Structure 1
Amino acid sequence: MRKRLLSALAATVVLCSVSVQACVLRMAAETDFPPHLILKEQGWQGQSVELLQLLAREVGCELTFINSPWLRSLVQINSGELDVVSHLSYSEARKSDFAFIGPHHIESIWLIGDPDTLPRISTLQDLSQDVDLGRIAELNGAYYGEEFELLKQSPFFARQLVSISSIQDKLALLEAGRVNAILEDVSVLQYWQTHQYKNAKKYQPLVLVYQSPVYFGFSKRTLSKAMLVKLQQAWKKLHEQGLIDRTVQRYQRKNITTLTPSSRL
């Protein structure tokens, strides 16, 4: 009898060990999306990284990073190769594939360029027929709001857009003169300027394009409903403990916005 009990106990320990080891969250990460994703010699850093590390520890999971451009990441979520992406805007079209945990950031997308070399812009609608900026870089697969989607229906504006697949290419394209403006979160521009990226000071926000909370998008394909609920509860707990705001404030000193939990499973 004792031998059977010991065998059963050993089997339980093995099963528990396997269960713990199996809890690995695979996050899509792309180099140089500061201050959110920053690749250093010692590993990944940044606001999104720290927040997800907090969340993973709270639910007892290991976090690994897979280098993947944004559009490919969305495909890999659907194929089961990834478990989570950051900076995902909520939409009805996405809710069948993603659970939205957060928000982890209030994204403010601006048209950014050198005001000394570009025509004056007052509103986004100026670009529909009055202002030609030549070439504007947009991230392939990114969502910039309904007004921007409607604006893209204007042939005058649509021909100015240049789709790129990698976030880190934007500043390089500006520097090389291959585009005249980019669509980017103002927090990224602030990081470039604070850390004295080459010529970053001359680029300024020209007009606000879209502002919205963004979430960690967890895959409904690879994660169970029980795990998604656990993640939702863990995020709420971390927020109540003040750990979310404390982390954000280290990276968003100029624009601190309280992130009230509004997860959607």
Structure 2
Amino acid sequence: MSPISSGCEKTLQVGVVLPWPPFVFDGEQALTGIDVEISRLVLTHAGFCSQFVSLPSSKRGLVELEKGRVDILTAASFNQQRAQYSHFSTPYRREKMRLFWYEDAKYLTHDLASLLAQQKTIAVNNGGYYGKEFEQLSKVTNNKDLLVRVPLLKHRLYMLKAKRVDFMIDDEISGLYLISQEKIPGITLHPYVIHDNPIHFMLSKKTVTMDNVRSINAAIIDMQSNIKQIIASYTY
């Protein structure tokens, strides 16, 4: 947890799931990573202090935000259910959700529905949002046992490595980064893109005002070149 800075009008509690490289790292002195650095940059520019709160899962983060026990979640995809209890900021980056697998030529042209129809098992984040297609398919009774919900990316990756599942769905940047760091050969990206969407901050309607949201949105727009530099420093 990072220390609270002095001299700010308001300190916002920012919930993050640890670890989620390269977006969130637990450093020796303070948290770091793409989303942590962008959060600090934007909130400071908007006139706020920030305190980062470690969360065990994305699902828990949504509960904490709805109850107002954290003010902000990073890396959020918009959907109507979440919008009932949170404001969404202007997007600050994009996210591609991809299928990771050990390549098998028989399934190169399959989409998500076809893979599930073939009884393929898929590790997914508990509480993650993967778009409308995934949301609809996940409600089909025959698919529920095929979607294995695991909170941490590293655990999902090692389930795939051990071939306890056939695929995992994850953010393209974080998945490729961890595969490289763990030096796991053979796992690649399936051609089918699950979801390509803008990423926002979610802000609790219980604790964050619309004036606060407008300040944060203005900071995101002002800091676009700096945000791009932060992302590039971790991915190139």
Q: CA deviation at 1:21?
A: 5.2
Taking the TM superposition and a 5 Å limit, the aligned residue runs for 1:70-81 are: 70-81=58-69
Summarize the alignment of residues 94-105 of structure 1 with structure 2, pairs less than 5 Å apart: 94-105=82-93
1:143 correspondence with 2:126: no
Change (3 A) 1:167 1:192: closer
**Counterpart among 43, 49, 56 of residue 56 in structure 1:** 43
The yes-or-no answer on 1:106 pairing with 2:91 is no
Give 2:37's aligned amino acid: E
Q: Is the 8 A contact 2:61 2:73 kept in 1?
A: yes
Which residue pairs with 2:233 in the alignment? 250
What residue is the counterpart of 2:152 in the other structure? 166
Aligned equivalents of 2:183, 2:227: Cα separation in 1 = 31
CA-CA distance at 1:193 after TM superposition: 3.8
3-state SS in 2 of match to 1:112: strand
Please give the secondary structure, in 1, of the residue aligned with 2:218.
Answer: helix
Structure 2: unaligned runs, 5 residues or longer:
1-5
Query: Would you say the 8 A contact 2:66–2:86 is kept in 1?
Result: no
- Of 177, 187, 190, the residue aligned with 2:173 is 187
Structure 2 CA distance for aligned equivalents of residues 161 and 90 of structure 1: 21
Identity of aligned residues (%): 24
- Residue number in structure 1 paired with 2:215: 230
The 2-side partners of 1:213 and 1:252 are apart by: 18
CA 1:223 to 1:34, structure 2 compared with 1: closer, same or farther past 3 Å?
Answer: same
1:20–1:60 Cα contact (<8 Å) kept: no
The residue number in structure 1 matching 2:3 is: none
The whole-number CA distance in structure 2 between the counterparts of 1:175 and 1:140 is 19
Aligned to 2:188, which of 180, 204, 207?
204
Measure, in 2, the Cα distance between the counterparts of 1:153 and 1:53: 37
Distance 1:151 1:21 in 2: 45
1:13-52 to structure 2, matched below 5 A, reads 20=7, 23-52=10-39
For residues 22 and 169 of structure 1, the distance between their equivalents in structure 2, rounded to whole angstroms, comes to 40
Q: What CA distance in whole angstroms lies between the structure 2 residues aligned with 1:225 and 1:152?
A: 34
- SS state of the match for residue 102, structure 1? coil
- What amino acid sits opposite 1:205 in the alignment? L
Q: What secondary structure, in the 3-state scheme, does the structure 2 residue paired with 1:159 have?
A: helix
Separation (CA, whole Å) in 2 of partners of 1:150 and 1:111: 17
Distance 2:142 2:183 in 1: 32
Equivalent residue, structure 1, for 2:70: 82
TM-score (norm 2): 0.87
Gaps spanning 5+ residues in structure 1: where? 1-18, 254-265
Say which is worse superposed, 46-55 or 86-95, in terms of deviation.
86-95
Give the whole-Å Cα distance in 2 for the aligned partners of 1:164 and 1:86.
Answer: 19
Q: Distance in 2 between matches of 1:128 and 1:191?
A: 26
Structure 1 Cα separation of the partners of residues 106 and 9 of structure 2: 55
- More displaced, 41-50 or 164-173? 164-173
Q: Output the aligned Cα RMSD.
A: 2.2
- 1:125 corresponds in structure 2 to 113
Q: Please give the per-residue CA displacement for 1:199-222, whole angstroms capped at 9, x wherever unaligned.
A: 1x3111113211111111111211
Cα distance between partner residues in 2 of 1:238 and 1:153? 39
> What displacement does 1:119 show?
5.0
Deviation at 1:39? 1.5
Displacement after TM superposition at 1:157 (Å): 3.2
Q: State how far apart, in whole Å, the 1-side matches of 2:41 and 2:90 are.
A: 13
